[in-house]
């Protein structure tokens, strides 16, 4: 048995947040020289939107960590793990396979956050094609991650979306757009930035029509904004927060002159002319959590 390889795998498990509970069964599987095997572990965690640190641990997570032996040596590799999140009161479980290399070593805690619909930022190493050819050092960048929980791909996985700095998401600007009252001091604002970047909710207060109401906020890099929820975790839309802007926009729409119908202008009937195309249907985009 390759002792150095075993120690490296133990450190990898610990770094991913699985601790040392699997060390004995890992060593047993390697001593048996199994060509491939999976180790299972479960965890009970508080729902991430819980405001009370003593809230019951009702989020059930099951992990299957997958190992493979090299065809040319006695070295084992940990390349992927599968995770399933079962939330209390929800009969539908959410599952995902994370590839350590492709998905930038998502940890067990980060997997919980992503499967709960939250976004998070990670410092990752990216290597350009030129650097790969020259063998240079990869660049270290901060990248946002978010799972698209509405769909699955051909492998049954939810697509993992990534947002690089050039995408243009500025968390500070996104926060500054809203009248958040609980983040008045630089210390509280910096703590909120760190919490949101780590994929957590921030519980604070928001001014709506001269009233301060408790809210929970989360980062939304895809829409370049933040998501805001009331005490019942129902999303609060911008038109509720800024009613005067919504009213001004509605008035502007009402004052716009009606556009002429080309068919009426030419005296034709309702049938479209051969060179006319159907106008694209615009649907309201739902903001993801």
Q: What is the pLDDT of residues 30-80, one digit of tens each?
A: 999 999 999 999 999 999 999 999 999 999 999 999 999 999 999 999 999
Q: How confident is the model at residue 284 (pLDDT cuts 50, 70, 90)?
A: very low
| Residue 184: predicted pLDDT | 83
The token pair at 214 is 């408790």
Per-residue burial over 113-150, b = 16 or more CB atoms within 10 Å of its CB, e = otherwise = bbbbbbbbbbebeeeeeeeeeeeeeeeeeebbbbbebe
CA distances from 255 to 139, 249, 251, 252 (A): 52, 10, 6, 5
| Residue 250: predicted pLDDT | 64
Strands (DSSP E) found in 168-234: 202-208, 211-220, 225-229
Q: Quick one: which H or E segment has residue 180?
A: none
CA distances from 179 to 13, 204, 215 (A): 43, 11, 12
CA distances from 116 to 45, 47, 144, 224 (A): 12, 8, 15, 19
Distance CA 228, CA 215 (A): 7
pLDDT at 269 over 80: no
Three-class secondary structure of residue 213 per DSSP: strand
Cβ atoms of 76 and 67 closer than 8 Å: yes
The token pair at 136 is 């240079």
Cβ atoms of 143 and 124 closer than 8 Å: yes
| Residue 283: predicted pLDDT | 37
Mean per-residue pLDDT of the chain: 87
Which residue ranges make up each domain of the chain?
Answer: 3-167, 171-246
| Residue 3: predicted pLDDT | 92
| Residue 62: predicted pLDDT | 98
pLDDT at 280 over 70: no
DSSP 4-15: HHHHHHHHHHHH
For the segment 189-207, the average pLDDT, to the nearest whole number, is: 96
| Residue 128: predicted pLDDT | 62
| Residue 247: predicted pLDDT | 64
| Count of positions (residues) in the chain | 289
Render pLDDT for 131-189 as a digit per residue (tens, 0 to 9): 555 566 778 999 999 999 999 999 999 999 999 999 999 999 999 999 999 888 899 99
| Residue 274: predicted pLDDT | 40
| Beta pairing partners, 76 | 69
Which candidate, 248, 228, 245, places its Cα nearest to that of 236? 228
Distance CA 38, CA 29 (A): 9
Render pLDDT for 216-263 as a digit per residue (tens, 0 to 9): 999 999 999 999 999 999 999 999 999 877 666 666 676 776 555 555
| Residue 129: predicted pLDDT | 56
Which candidate, 195, 33, 4, places its Cα nearest to that of 113? 195
Distance CA 143, CA 6 (A): 31
Backbone φ, ψ for residue 85 (5° rounding): -110, 125
pLDDT at 279 over 90: no
pLDDT at 277 over 60: no
């Amino acid at each position: 048995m390759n002792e150095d390889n075993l120690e490296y795998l133990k450190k990898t498990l610990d770094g991913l947040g699985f601790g040392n509970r699997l060390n004995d069964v890992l060593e047993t599987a390697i001593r048996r020289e199994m060509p491939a095997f999976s180790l299972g572990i479960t965890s009970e965690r508080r729902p991430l939107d819980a405001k009370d640190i003593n809230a019951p641990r009702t989020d059930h997570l099951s992990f299957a960590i997958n190992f493979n032996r090299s065809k040319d040596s006695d070295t084992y590799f940990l390349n992927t793990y599968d995770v399933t999140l079962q939330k209390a009161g929800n009969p539908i479980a959410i599952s995902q396979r994370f590839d350590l290399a492709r998905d930038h070593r998502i940890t067990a805690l980060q997997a919980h956050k992503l499967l709960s619909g939250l976004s998070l930022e990670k410092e990752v190493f990216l290597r350009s094609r030129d650097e790969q050819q020259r063998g240079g050092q990869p660049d270290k960048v901060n990248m946002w991650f978010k799972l698209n929980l509405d769909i699955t791909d051909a492998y049954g996985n939810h697509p993992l979306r990534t947002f690089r700095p050039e995408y243009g998401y500025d968390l500070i600007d996104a926060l500054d757009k809203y009248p958040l009252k609980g983040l008045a001091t630089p210390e509280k604002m910096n703590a909120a930035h760190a919490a949101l970047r780590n994929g957590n909710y921030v519980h604070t207060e928001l001014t709506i029509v001269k009233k301060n109401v408790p809210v929970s906020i989360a980062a939304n890099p895809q829409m370049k904004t933040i998501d805001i929820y009331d005490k019942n975790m129902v999303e609060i839309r911008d038109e509720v927060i800024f009613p005067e802007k919504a009213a001004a926009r509605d008035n502007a729409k009402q004052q716009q002159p009606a556009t002429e119908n080309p068919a009426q202008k030419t005296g034709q009937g309702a049938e479209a002319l051969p060179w006319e195309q159907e106008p694209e249907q615009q649907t309201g985009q739902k903001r993801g959590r």
